[in-house]
Structure 1
Amino acid sequence: MWVLGMLGLALSCRGAGAFLVHVASSCPLAANGSALAFGFTLVFNKNPLVCYEPDARRFAPCDWGLLRPYATVLAAILNNGTAWVQRAEARRRACRDLVPRFWSSTALRRTPPQIRIVSVPLPNTPDAVLLTCRVWGFYPAEVTVLWRHNGDVVATGDNAKLLPNGDWTYQTQVTLTVTAKVGDTFTCAVQHASLDRPLCEDWGPGLSPGLMVKVVAAAVVMTVGLVVFAAGTFSYCRQAPGEGQAGGTPVWHVGDVAPT
């Protein structure tokens, strides 16, 4: 790296002021995951200065401005030895060898979505509800979201905004304003490459899912209690009289006259 340090020192002495020199390598991929090319560049203040030519295995100046003379000198210095050429070739091999693993763990992976319906009653509008179908955690980004009312498609998410989560997954949401009636069923259906069949969630007017779970749990507990009580009562009624109930030692009280 002394070469880059000398370059920075020379340019700073010529009034270049603050400078930043770094090495940038690139490995662009095709749609099928194969490597299209390889780039290895020495950059000065975001300006490509010297570029590596993989076919010729040599460095060449790639600046055509005021820094062209410095780029020419630097390219000659890098080509004079083998250290920088070996470094560039090592990056090139890494690009070739890591592409299949990177492609299979990113672009080819399938992460299924999660789904949830959020309902919000609309003020000043009787029985009107805003339904939001939230879909998140899926990859790849292509997804189809449909709203169905009693089985019929009433809305699609073709214009829904797709947002990245920052962890190589995506999220989206599709809203639907409805006037809910007893017996209606609104279904959010999600189609994605990771799913064998659409992922669906239903919503209908009535108890919320959380309250419904509590009601069902209470009913189950009550039913079990009644069964246990009935079984205990039946077992008690069938129990045979114990010894001492039909006969046994009499119990005398004060004032009783014992038989002679």
Structure 2
Amino acid sequence: MKAAVLAMGPTGFGVLGAMGLALSCGAAGAFVVHVASSCPLTANGSLGGFDLTVAFNKNPLVCYDPDAHIFYPCDGGLLHGVATFVAFILNYNATWVQRAEARRQACTELAAQFWAQTALRRTPPQVRIVPIRISNDPDTVRLICHVWGFFPPAVTIQWLQNGLVLASDDTELLPNGDWTYRTQTTLRASTAAGSTYTCSVWHSSLEQPLQVDWSPNLSPGMMAQVAVAAMALTLGS
């Protein structure tokens, strides 16, 4: 019998043995057998189906039909004979059908909980304004409003000058690795004293807009802190 690696627990050795016996007469070398199941959710969070597959070297070999409660060969190539034999073994042992049904039941029970913890959750954004000096224009500064860590992705950002709404560029949403999003928008602002610029962020997680102000009257110490924060944001993204 050829060498094998099992990724489906000790109860799967019967299937592995059947595969090994079926493949022992061929030229197959080491192989990996694993069981994969999935239950996709629809756009409203309801269960969209259930799939369970016994895979051989990452290729589907035997699939489960949840309506008929049987396993069937889903490999129509060179291993179709092996797939038919393995499907017969799985259907002969009621434990495998029970295991498949237990996984489908788990999907049904956990779908609502998973949906609530992911798609329906509300994570408020964080906001920071970073000023960038323009070397050839000392009377103008480029303000970058960084908005990050929010979910769902829908967000509205406005620039205000002394409380009056200004036009701003469209923002591009970028996903983070923790199911949150980030974006930024820029504004050219005057360095003349007397104006306060505000980045106002509207998001479904907030009861009122989150607003952060910037003024050209910042002290050198505050400017240094902003510069450090800008570097941290750049490195963090």
Answer with 200-209 or 42-51: which moved more.
200-209
Structure 2 residue 184 is matched with structure 1 residue 170: no
What is the rounded CA distance, in whole Å, between the counterparts of 1:87 and 1:193 in structure 2?
A: 41
Q: 8 Å contact 2:39–2:49 — kept in the other structure?
A: yes
The Cα of 1:209 is off from its aligned counterpart by 9.4
Identical-pair percentage: 59
Deviations 1:181-230 (A, max 9, x none): 22222211111111122211121211249649xxxxxxxxxxxxxxxxxx
The Cα of 1:42 is off from its aligned counterpart by 0.4
What is the rounded CA distance, in whole Å, between the counterparts of 2:71 and 2:82 in structure 1?
A: 13
Q: 8 Å contact 2:15–2:89 — kept in the other structure?
A: no
Distance 1:208 1:66, change over 3 A: farther
1:122-137 to 2 correspondences below 5 Å: 122-137=134-149
Structure 2 residue 158 is matched with structure 1 residue 142: no
The Cα of 1:105 is off from its aligned counterpart by 1.4
Equivalent in the alignment of 2:234:
none
Structure 2 residue 33 is matched with structure 1 residue 21: yes
Equivalent in the alignment of 2:62:
50
Higher relative contact order (CA 8 A, sep 6+): 2
Deviations 1:8-56 (A, max 9, x none): 4643652233322110101100111110101111011121111111111
What is the rounded CA distance, in whole Å, between the counterparts of 2:84 and 2:20 in structure 1?
A: 15
Aligned-partner SS, 1:155:
coil
Equivalent in the alignment of 2:216:
205
Equivalent in the alignment of 1:155:
168
Structure 1 counterpart of 2:112, one-letter code: P
Q: 8 Å contact 1:163–1:172 — kept in the other structure?
A: yes
Q: 8 Å contact 1:12–1:18 — kept in the other structure?
A: no
Task: Calculate the TM-score normalised by the size of structure 1.
Answer: 0.75
Structure 2 counterpart of 1:27, one-letter code: C
2:90 aligned residue (75, 78, 82) = 78
What is the rounded CA distance, in whole Å, between the counterparts of 1:192 and 1:64 in structure 2?
A: 51
Task: Calculate the TM-score normalised by the size of structure 2.
Answer: 0.82
What is the rounded CA distance, in whole Å, between the counterparts of 1:71 and 1:180 in structure 2?
A: 73
Distance 1:101 1:209, change over 3 A: farther
- Residue-pair matches, total: 210
Q: 8 Å contact 1:4–1:21 — kept in the other structure?
A: no
> Greater CA radius of gyration, 1 or 2?
1
What is the rounded CA distance, in whole Å, between the counterparts of 1:122 and 1:34 in structure 2?
A: 52
Aligned-partner SS, 1:20:
strand
What is the rounded CA distance, in whole Å, between the counterparts of 2:192 and 2:94 in structure 1?
A: 79
Q: Structure 2 stretches of 5 or more lacking a match?
A: 1-11, 224-237
Structure 2 counterpart of 1:152, one-letter code: V
Q: 8 Å contact 1:190–1:199 — kept in the other structure?
A: yes
Distance 1:169 1:185, change over 3 A: same
2:119 aligned residue (107, 111, 115) = 107
